[in-house]
Amino acid sequence: MYEFIGQVKNSPATSVQYGYISHMRGLSDDQIYLGGVPQNEASALLTFYNDSVTEKVTNHGSLSCRLYAQSEKVPLGAERPSFRGQIYNEEGVPKGIPFNLLHGFLIVVEGRIGRLNHLKFILDTGVTRTVLNRKVADELHLPRYPMQVLNYNRSVAVEWATIPDLQFGPTHVTNVPILVADLPDFSELASDADTLIGFDLLGLGNFVIDYDTRRVLFRRLQRDASSPSTTPASDHLTELTVELRVQGYPVSLIVDTGLQGMVLFEDRLSRRIPQLKFEGGIETIMFGRHLHARSATLREVNLGSNDKNLRVFLLKGPPHDQVPGIDGYFGTALLNARWIEFNIADNNISYR
* Residue 204 predicted with pLDDT over 60: yes
The residues, ordered by sequence, that sit 6+ positions from 267 with a Cβ below 8 Å of its Cβ are 316, 317
Residue 229 confidence class, pLDDT cut points 50, 70, 90:
very low
When computed from its CA atoms, the radius of gyration of the chain, rounded to whole angstroms, is: 21
Residue 347 confidence class, pLDDT cut points 50, 70, 90:
confident
Domains of the chain by residue range: 2-83, 97-236, 241-351
Residue 183 confidence class, pLDDT cut points 50, 70, 90:
confident
> Using CA atoms, how far apart are residues 44 and 29, in angstroms rounded to an integer?
10
Residue closest to 132 by CA, chosen among 185, 64, 62, 63: 185
Residue 154 confidence class, pLDDT cut points 50, 70, 90:
confident
> Using CA atoms, how far apart are residues 298 and 278, in angstroms rounded to an integer?
5
pTM exceeds 0.75? no
At the topology level, CATH places domain 97-236 in: Cathepsin D, subunit A; domain 1 (2.40.70)
Residue closest to 193 by CA, chosen among 103, 261, 316: 103
Percent of the chain with pLDDT over 70: 67
Q: How much is the average pLDDT of 151-166?
A: 86
> What was the pLDDT predicted at 230?
34
> Using CA atoms, how far apart are residues 352 and 349, in angstroms rounded to an integer?
11
> What was the pLDDT predicted at 90?
57
Superfamily designation of domain 241-351: Acid Proteases (2.40.70.10)
> What was the pLDDT predicted at 56?
33
Q: How much is the average pLDDT of 25-46?
A: 61
> Do the domains 241-351 and 97-236 match in fold?
yes
> What was the pLDDT predicted at 151?
73
